[in-house]
A = this chain, B = another copy of it.
Amino acid sequence: MFSLDQLSAFVAVAEELHFGRAAERLNMTQPPLSRQVQKLERAVGARLLERDNRKVELTEAGQAFLTEARRLLALVETAGDLARRVDQGAAGTLRLGFTATSAIRTLGPLLRRLSEELPDVDVILHERVTPGQIDGLLRGELDLGLGRPPFDSDVLDSRIVSREPLCAVVPGNHRLAALGRPLTSADFSGEQVISYSPTQARYFHELTVRFLAESHPRIEQRVQQILTVILLVAAGRGVALVPASARHLGVEGVTYCDLAGPGQAVELHAIWRRDATSPVLQRVLTMLPEHH
């Protein structure tokens, strides 16, 4: 089999049609260049250059081989580049889990930054509730999740990506909508409150329960998705607590009210396996917005 140096030698001679000049271009002297070309011809099994003491020209086989040689050398360049880019996380695949809520304000900008800064990274999106993301991460189906606590911090590492206040959402014609001031826990006494699944949306479930702990609302509905909650509110089935970014969902017929007291922060975490090695993941982690 021939070597890449022999290919470069041949290409140089084929382009210069002169051994001396080709040798100069290759920063070597003419004799070893002649030998390399001879070796290449022996390896290929065909005469590639017709040469006498006066001129050098390509044979037909040489013409055909020159094309292939150029392609090969080009591929050599790009092969290394590709591997380096993958190594540095600038190319590859990121399987990203996200909750419907995280998509409202966080996912869009993140995807935009990714496609700008790492255009060769393919992002595969999986919409899942947080437990589903954790499951996916542990099974190796996901590289990164955007979800809510809690999660096992022995195996999973995480970082807060966004933090926003909790707010109340009430029907547009509801008495709470008319108060015009931040709502307290007591305001919810006797209200029909729509809350969250303790298993599939545990985080919002606990936030809701904690905020309303001192009042005595009636909690009947327990759903998983923020959007479902708001649609139920719009349908007059009760009131609910949602993250502030839900205002941007654009559901008609509901009013959003601030909550009084120390801000109940809703945190969104980026979550990944502590032992993950994916270069793309490492690279993306450096791009995540920092909150505290």
B61 touching A279, Cβ below 8 Å: yes
Interface string of A1-40 (1 = CB under 8 A from B): 1111100000000000000000000000000000000000
Q: Of A71-79, A101-109, A148-156, which stretch is located at the interface?
A: A71-79
Q: Which residues of B contact A45 (CB under 8 A)?
A: 80, 83-84, 87
From 60 to 78 in chain A, residues with beta carbon under 8 angstroms from any chain B beta carbon are 60-65, 68-69, 71-72, 75-76, 78
* Number of chain copies forming the complex: 2
B46 touching A83, Cβ below 8 Å: yes
- Give complex CA distance A78, B69 in Å: 11
Interface string of A255-292 (1 = CB under 8 A from B): 00000000000000000000001111000000000000
Q: Measuring CB to CB, which residues of chain A are less than 8 angstroms from any residue of chain B? A: 1-5, 43-48, 50, 59-65, 68-69, 71-72, 75-76, 78-80, 82-84, 86-88, 91-92, 277-280
- Which 4 A-B pairs rank lowest in CB-CB distance, beginning with the nearest? A46-B87, A68-B79, A61-B87, A65-B83
